[in-house]
Structures are given as C-alpha cells and as structure tokens.
Amino acid sequence: MRFDFVTIFPRMFDAFLAEGVIARGVKQGLIEVGVWDLRDYASDRHRSTDDEAYGGGPGMVMLAEPVLRCVDQIGSGHVVLTSPQGRRFDQSVAKELATKERIVLLCGRYEGFDQRVHDALQPDEISIGDFVVSGGELPAMLFADAIGRMIEGVVGNIGSVEEDSFFRGLLDYPHYTRPEELRGMRVPDVLLSGHHEKIRKWRKEQALRATLSRRPELLETAELDAEARKMLEKLT
C-alpha cells in the first residue's frame, strides 16, 4: 500500500516517517510513502500556494492550480482531502481505506482549498472530528497510522490489532504488565493463572463491561456471538 502526502510543510513528516508503525511498514517493504511539496507545483517565482479570497474576508485560500498539478503528477490513487467538513474518521473508515492500493492525502492550511479542488477531484473528504486544527498534516498522519497498522505484517502481531478498541465494535479490555503488585494494586489473579480459556473469557467480559459503561451505543452495532450476548445479559 502507498500513501502520498501533499503538503506545504513536508518537514512535518520527518519524525512521523522516521519512527513508529509507518516507518516499520516502510522498512518491511509493506508500505511506500511519498511526501510532495506543493510549492514545487507553484507557477510563480515566489512559489505561492495561497492567495486572498474572492469576495474578501479574513484568511487565505489554498490555490487550486498547484494541487491539481501535483495530483496529476502523482497519477492514480484514492484522493482523501482532510477537512472538518468531511465524513467522520473511525475504525470502519480505516478498515475501508486499508483495502486501497494507494491513498493520496491532501493537507489543507488557512481557510482550506479553493472550491475547484473539491469540484475537480471529487475527493473523499474526511474529518478527525468536530473541531478545527490548523492544518491537514496531523489529521493525514493520524489517518495513515490507523490505516497502516491494519496491513498484515506491519504490527508484529495482527491479533493485537484485531483486539484493539473498535475493531470488532467493542472497547478493549484492560492490560497489565510487571510487577504483579504495585502500590497495593494487584494484577487480577486470572491473568496470572496461565489458564488460557479463563483468560479469554475474562478479557471478553471486561471488553463488554467497558463498552457497556463507557460507550453503550456501540453495542447496538458490535459483532456479538452467542457467548458475548449471554455475558451481556448477565451484566445488564
């Protein structure tokens, strides 16, 4: 799978691509990444990528021409435009996007892109939530991380991804590591028992408990087998 980030701040991606899940995927040859500096596609000697808004008003608008030129150069790919006005990103959107071979992520700044970027590319507009950040770079990295970790082999054990919160529609169960006792707080006995079946059931029940108390609405669409439904009956 390949991610192409289109940005006026390419250096923001240096740390992201040097460490972590995407960096690991790149090293393993499972992920390819391109970072495209929009200024390279500007048409004036100042390498401008934004201008004042027609009609006046505060804030600059990102020029359409450099974006369209850059996307032409990139070629094929599913174009995602980061925007607070897009559909809300979640685990199911990440799963859907993990099936694409190539994703082009457009990172806006200022007031966003000239409307003709939207009209010409008909991109998949995606939001990280109902709040506004200053640029599309952080949202784009966040999307790529969530999508990239679903690619088989990128995270050491795909089982850990499948047990993450939201993967099957439930929140994750609690995790413990050493020491067995810390400031009077003990690791639950079942986790020290070595009894795999009991541990599996405990974790499943804990995931249901967490979901029921924190995000009960998730239970309406979660994938629940007969055992989970029985556990849930007992909890409610």
Ligand X SMILES: C[S@@+](CC[C@H](N)C(=O)[O-])C[C@H]1O[C@@H](n2cnc3c(N)ncnc32)[C@H](O)[C@@H]1O
Q: Which residues bind ligand X (CB under 6 A)?
A: 82-85, 107-109, 111-112, 127-129, 131-136, 139
Q: Of 113 and 202, which CB lies nearer to ligand X in the complex structure?
A: 113
Q: Of 133 and 192, which CB lies nearer to ligand X in the complex structure?
A: 133
Residue from 111, 124, 145, 172 carrying the catalytic annotation: 111
Q: Shortest Cβ contact with ligand X: which residue? A: 108
Phi-psi region of 184 (alpha: psi -120 to 50; beta: other; left: phi over 0): left
Q: Of 111 and 205, which CB lies nearer to ligand X in the complex structure?
A: 111
User: Rounded to an integer, what distance in angstroms lies between the CA atom of residue 219 and that of residue 203?
Assistant: 16
- What is the torsional sign of CA 181, 186, 191, 193? positive
**Spatial contact of 203 and 159, defined as CB atoms under 8 Å apart:** no
Residue from 50, 66, 84, 114 carrying the catalytic annotation: 84
CB of 77 to ligand X, least distance (A): 17
Identity (one letter) of the amino acid at 12? M
CB of 128 to ligand X, least distance (A): 4
User: Rounded to an integer, what distance in angstroms lies between the CA atom of residue 44 and that of residue 216?
Assistant: 54
Q: Per DSSP, what are the bridge partners of residue 60?
A: 52
Q: Of 132 and 235, which CB lies nearer to ligand X in the complex structure?
A: 132
CB of 88 to ligand X, least distance (A): 9
Task: Mark whether 84 is an active-site residue.
Answer: yes
Task: Mark whether 220 is an active-site residue.
Answer: no
**Spatial contact of 38 and 70, defined as CB atoms under 8 Å apart:** yes
User: Rounded to an integer, what distance in angstroms lies between the CA atom of residue 182 and that of residue 142?
Assistant: 33
Q: Of 11 and 200, which CB lies nearer to ligand X in the complex structure?
A: 11
Residue from 125, 164, 172, 205 carrying the catalytic annotation: 164
Identity (one letter) of the amino acid at 108? G
Task: Mark whether 10 is an active-site residue.
Answer: no
124-127 vs 185-186, strand pairing mode: unpaired
CB of 49 to ligand X, least distance (A): 12
CB of 225 to ligand X, least distance (A): 35
What's the 3-state SS for 17-64?
Answer: HHCCHHHHHHHCCCCEEEEEEHHHHCCCCCCCCEEECCCCCCCEEECH
Task: Mark whether 65 is an active-site residue.
Answer: no
- Provide the annotated active-site residues: 84, 111, 149, 164
